[in-house]
Amino acid sequence: MTDWRDRLPAIRGKLVKDAVLAPYTWLRVGGPAEALFLPEDEDDLAVFLRGLDPAVPVTPIGVGSNLLVRDGGVEGVVIRLGRAFARVEPRGDSAIYAGAATLDAMLAREAGKAGIAGLEFYRGVPGTIGGACMMNAGCYGSETKDVLVEAYALDRRGERRTLSNAEMGFSYRKSAPAAGGDLIFTGALFRGRPDDPAGIEARMEAITARREASQPIREKTGGSTFKNPPGHSSWKLVDDAGWRGRLFGQAMFSPLHANFLINTGEATAADLEGLGEAVRADVRTKFGVELDWEIKRIGRPAPAAA
């Protein structure tokens, strides 16, 4: 059988066949990708996409902070952006550009140094700017939609796209491109408001302290597991259903924050997803409320044992 991985154009980045993905995720689980592509820069990524068979699935990932890779691995190519996509640059008039691989916390930090307020909440958001654009990431009352001016992306044909805030179609933890699935974000432009850097830093320190006190940030976790249903808090539903700190194999919901799924040791992706589905079913039965996953799950389950 002809292997699409052998028919790609000349690229400058790194292409790894049958790449294990677990080390690229905070939960540390998951099977291999058929191919993992680490582009050298945006031009390299565009060349790759133009030469890739449109039938081959493409899955971009960031730092894997909100990602569950199933044990059977991921079909097609997984794209992970590196240092060339992590540039942060103030642009004047309280605007700041960040590449898609920029850590959200780094954007907050650099905006603060530049005296740009309004982006402090990113200090409390795990992940990268690409994921923030895709999921309308936010915390403590602020979201990406509140500060984004425009986002930059490549489509599956390798063509550059610019999307305004309105074109992003933001809603709670989702965007229009997330539904379409054919864009890879490369960067975004944000706008805040001028303020004293010392005051901005003080607010970010308060966010950091609040997060460290209430979230299991040093565990193998994936951040918030479920979205908050209208009128409810997911953590309270999980807690009231009796799942806080209750082991399911080597998976559990954190005793510190009941909406954080944790790999306590050598849990599999099936263990973690199985626990999440068990909790969803229990909450549905007990309270009549539907919990929707906020963690993004990709890939195929492991083959059944013979």
Q: Which of 70, 109, 123, 173 is catalytic?
A: 173
Residue 166: count other Cβ atoms within 10 Å of its Cβ: 10
Whole-Å CA distances, 104 to 8, 156, 227: 32, 25, 19
On whether the CB atoms of residues 167 and 62 are closer than 8 A, the answer is no
Residue 244, helix vs strand vs coil: strand
Q: Is the dihedral of CA 92, 95, 100, 106 positive or negative?
A: positive
> CA–CA separation, 11 vs 7, rounded Å?
11
The closest of 7, 50, 24, 27 to 221, measured between CA atoms, is 27
- Tokens 């963690």 correspond to what residue? 295
The closest of 112, 25, 104 to 61, measured between CA atoms, is 25
Q: Which of 65, 94, 224, 234 is catalytic?
A: 224
Tokens coding 103: 């850590």
| 173 classed as catalytic | yes
Residues with catalytic roles: 173, 224, 294
